Chain A
Amino acid sequence: MRTEQEANLAIEKYADMVRRICLVNLKNSQDTEDVFQEVFLKYILHDKEFESDAHEKAWLIRVTINACKDLLKQFFRRRVTSLEALVTEPTGIREESREVLDAVIQLPAKYRDVIYLHYYEGYTALEIASIFKRNENTIYTWLSRGKEQLKSSLGGESFGK
């Protein structure tokens, strides 16, 4: 079991990332807190050493996304907060940013994570394929489709190459 100090360091280092993945995948702050606890609990119980910071980060991304999916599969959580409530959850966000986040959140579930990981975290399609254990071409397809839908919903500007 990892020490309290290791846990606090991980929370400090990765809390924002986990929060963003939760925002992309979940519907309210209660679920977010649940996933937070589950992810970091798994982290402190994970006895194997990570090969690198990148490995640790990728592990946390995968665990967070899986925790979100598991939470959403639970029957009694399916009928929770409406989509409108999604973007009202984070506070202190500018209206322009809120529109962007709303557009991402309204993408099909499988596109949201790859859009976030590619455009915000800077992962390549190959790296995302490795995290999701999917074919690289599948990730390219998801990225492409997600980008098209965002372009459509946010006004047609092209995304960075």
Chain B
Amino acid sequence: MENKIRSAFDEVKADEELKQNTAAFLQKERQKQTQVRRRPYAAAYASVFLLVIAGIFSWNLYFTKTAYVDIDVNPSIELSLNRFNRVIYVHAYNADAEIVLRNVSIRNKTCEEAVEILIDEMDVLGYLEKPGMLTATVQVSDSSGEDLLDSLSSRIRSCLQKCQGKVGQEVYLVDSAAKADSYDQDLTPARYQAIRELQTVDPDATFENCHDSSLGELRLRYRGHAGQGEHKGSSDSAEEEGTCEDSSPSSGEGNYRHRNRGEH
């Protein structure tokens, strides 16, 4: 009987159609499984790609310079700002500037906060004790220059009042060409313009031999050569808003526009 059972079951076979249908089914399922397994990877790759793109875009957005603020007392400092009015780079034009920047951290601060910190530090270090002028130039690549000029002037004025010094302020816009010219000479736009003015009355003045002179010294030399009486309307004494052309013999050469001026 055992043989009969074995013999009977021997006759039961899986037909070819059943095998082929099963193989075809498995093929389809394998493709589905592969797709299902790929989908999470595809989503992950897409997410990583988007994150990288967003990161590059954000980095580029944040670290693109859109404005420059150059400050001259004797320390001469350049602040590069991004579109969010944050300081992204700081440049010391001279040794005094390096001393001022040594103990302060102004990166990623707003322009106004940074300027306040710098003025406080200059006050602590004694750069604002003598009567003089704090000159700030603003070069902005978009239409926000006037707003920045207003807020910066206001903040500088209040800072200088706190310092109780005898330092006045002048804050004005410069255009990109003026900024580029001064950048090439590693000078602030204000000092660059002062040297250009000096050159009109002193042929010996060059960017090299005037490079380390402060803005006050340059203007003093200019007055010395041009004659005090002849140039009463020079930049140190101008009281009104207007262009630097008002106070400069070489008025036609640069595009400098005063926003604020006065002495404490």
Contacts and interface: CB of A to CB of B under 8 A. Distances in A.
Interface string A58-102: 000000000000000000000000000000001011101110110
B4 A100 contact: yes
Interface residues of A, number: 42
Interface string B1-25: 1111111110111100011011101
A96 B25 CA distance: 35
Interface stretch (B27-35, B70-78, B237-245, B252-260): B27-35
B26 interface: yes
Contact of A120 (B1, B6, B21): B6
A106 to B, nearest CB: 13
Given A119-B2, A150-B1, A4 B14 contact: no
A97 B11 contact: yes
**Highest count of chain B CB atoms <10 Å: which of A18, A33, A120:** A120
Interface in A17-39: 18-20, 23, 29, 32-33, 36-37
Interface string B27-52: 10110010000000000000000000
B140 to A, nearest CB: 61
B174 to A, nearest CB: 69
A120 B5 contact: yes
A44 B7 CA distance: 31
A158 interface: yes
A126 interface: no
B20 to A, nearest CB: 9
Contacts of B7: 97, 100
A40 interface: yes
A36 B19 CA distance: 8
Contacts of A29: 18
A154 B12 contact: no
A32 B26 CA distance: 15
Contact of B18 (A36, A45, A98, A159): A36
Given A7-B23, A157-B1, A93 B18 contact: no
Interface in B210-227: none
Contacts of B26: 4, 7, 37, 40-41, 44
A104 B1 CA distance: 12
29 contacts: A7-B26, A8-B23, A15-B14, A19-B12, A20-B12, A33-B18, A33-B21, A33-B22, A36-B18, A37-B25, A37-B26, A40-B22, A41-B25, A41-B29, A45-B33, A90-B11, A97-B4, A97-B7, A97-B8, A100-B8, A101-B9, A104-B8, A115-B5, A119-B2, A119-B5, A119-B6, A150-B5, A154-B4, A159-B2
Interface of A: 1, 4, 7-8, 11-12, 15-16, 18-20, 23, 29, 32-33, 36-37, 40-41, 44-45, 90, 92-94, 96-98, 100-101, 104, 115-116, 119-120, 150-151, 154, 157-160
